[in-house]
A and B are shown apart, each in its own frame.
Chain A
């Protein structure tokens, strides 16, 4: 069972467009273990976000199905925590209230008010934002907003954490810091993670396995690369390390030689 905590089974996705059916994904099968960190990498437009949205339940696969802890995914639900690319915080709620909205939904019925507030506080402290909890999203930086997004996703104790290019909109330094922070959080919470990225270094640094998506359409899995690096990982120590450079080179080779876009 631990070997197939999240099961993606022969998923196919066809969109109906004005020019007729458009097959975005074909024959996607992937098993993710409990506590595993898996990244989806590929060129933009290859359907990796589509796959993530199918797992999130925001899109319904045309064929195939997704199982999470042996139960079929039929729609969106709080057993999956989603971090959106553009943070998606509600601007009229403070950081605390944004997280509270999620916690209240999941634990509000069973737990007292004080316990709910304690959960919110702990989630914000996990991403080091205890001091900014009463600020509004427009009062904090992009990196802080994304951290609130992560806190919101983690606060509901999801079975799996789904990250859709979570650091794509941030500058390189902030991104590196948040990647390190995410590694700590994932290690501390033993989370199962599925992350979409197009950053080779991010994929290698964070993942246990990297799923390489072909360009398509229809896109499918071009290969899966196991990243055999001990944890905790340190970006500086790994920078020139052979076991880091080898998978990195392989990913680059896949993205820029085998799957290079003609027009791009």
Chain B
């Protein structure tokens, strides 16, 4: 069945060449049409779907990671092996929301407590940072005024702010929130200000020739034009905040994933520490993806 069209094909060129030039011109398309109409395409090349290697690559990568972990665990030391960690994780996540006193709570409560701190600190930073960024972007003088302070304070590790927070608030929880606030602030100020400065002059000319009111300019031109930059700032801020909260909680204690890590270290429960590391990573990834989704929603090109 498959061989028939193949032979027709190989026969065709010599046949055409043998005949007159004008005859072959008539014959050629007609024959092609007839053969393709009568028979299905002679062969369909089967190729692996494109998504397969895309899916396979991360799976292989992760498998190699686990294998390496297994080898290291077998080699000695006190590193728990993957399987026992997995069982331990099932146990931990089997009952994530228990409460046995202030310092012994399920991992769910700990993660939620950390997310809560990040949410509050980050929210306040957005309330302050985004309007500030708009102002710095719109008014050259303000931006020149703020430049030295921002440049000096931006590279400082957020944890360096913790003692001042403890001193001012005299309590661990507000101090941790305040550290999140400080570290989330810079990316939002800087990105919003850059966004405002990047607005094409054309858009502002439209506003000028129409004599639009300041409020309309803000709603219809400034805000939508800056939104993608703002979301980038928010994304960077959330990333940094999630990095910092673990460290801050290790120092302040209470309930939270960072504190949990420290507590398990004191209990010498290395399995739980590894579980915490993965939990922090997965939550961070989820936050990042959420922001990327938001950014895609507000991109216009």
Contact = CB atoms under 8 A, between A and B. Distances in A.
A78 B211 contact: yes
A138 B300 contact: yes
Contacts of B206: 84, 88, 90
A123 interface: no
Interface size class of B (residues with CB under 8 A): 10 to 19
A58 B205 contact: yes
Q: Summarize B's interface: helix, strand, loop or mixed.
A: helix
Nearest to A85: B202
B159 to A, nearest CB: 39
Nearest to A108: B216
Contacts of A102: 210
Contacts of A92: 224-225, 300
A72 B212 CA distance: 20
Contacts of A84: 202, 205-206
Interface in B82-137: none
A130 interface: no
A90 B211 contact: no
B208 A91 contact: no
Contacts of B202: 84, 86, 88
Interface in A19-61: 56-58
Contacts of B216: 101, 105
Contact of A88 (B203, B212, B220, B224): B203
Contacts of B210: 76, 78, 101-102, 105-106, 156
B212 to A, nearest CB: 6
A58 B224 CA distance: 23
Contact of B209 (A78, A86, A90, A91): A78
B221 interface: yes
A86 B208 CA distance: 16
B205 A91 contact: no
Nearest to A104: B216
Contacts of B300: 91-92, 136, 138
Contacts of A58: 205, 208-209
Contacts of A156: 210
Interface string A131-149: 0000010100000000000
B205 A77 contact: no
B301 interface: yes
A106 to B, nearest CB: 8
Contacts of B211: 75-78, 105
A91 B206 CA distance: 13
Given A78-B210, A102-B210, A105-B210, A91 B301 contact: yes
Contacts of B212: 101, 105
A100 to B, nearest CB: 10
Interface in B242-291: none
Nearest to A137: B300
A84 B206 CA distance: 9
Nearest to A89: B206
Interface string A64-84: 000000000001111011101
Contacts of B225: 92
Given A91-B300, A105-B216, A136-B300, A56 B221 contact: no
Interface string B198-236: 000011011011111000100011001100000000000
Given A84-B205, A86-B202, A90-B220, 7 more contacts: A58-B209, A78-B210, A90-B224, A92-B300, A101-B210, A105-B211, A138-B300
Interface of B: 202-203, 205-206, 208-212, 216, 220-221, 224-225, 300-301
The 5 closest A-B pairs by CB, nearest first: A91-B300, A88-B202, A92-B224, A76-B208, A76-B209
29 contacts: A57-B209, A58-B208, A58-B209, A75-B211, A76-B210, A76-B211, A78-B209, A78-B210, A78-B211, A81-B209, A82-B209, A84-B202, A84-B206, A88-B202, A88-B203, A88-B206, A90-B203, A90-B220, A90-B224, A91-B300, A92-B224, A93-B220, A101-B210, A101-B212, A101-B216, A105-B211, A105-B212, A136-B300, A138-B301
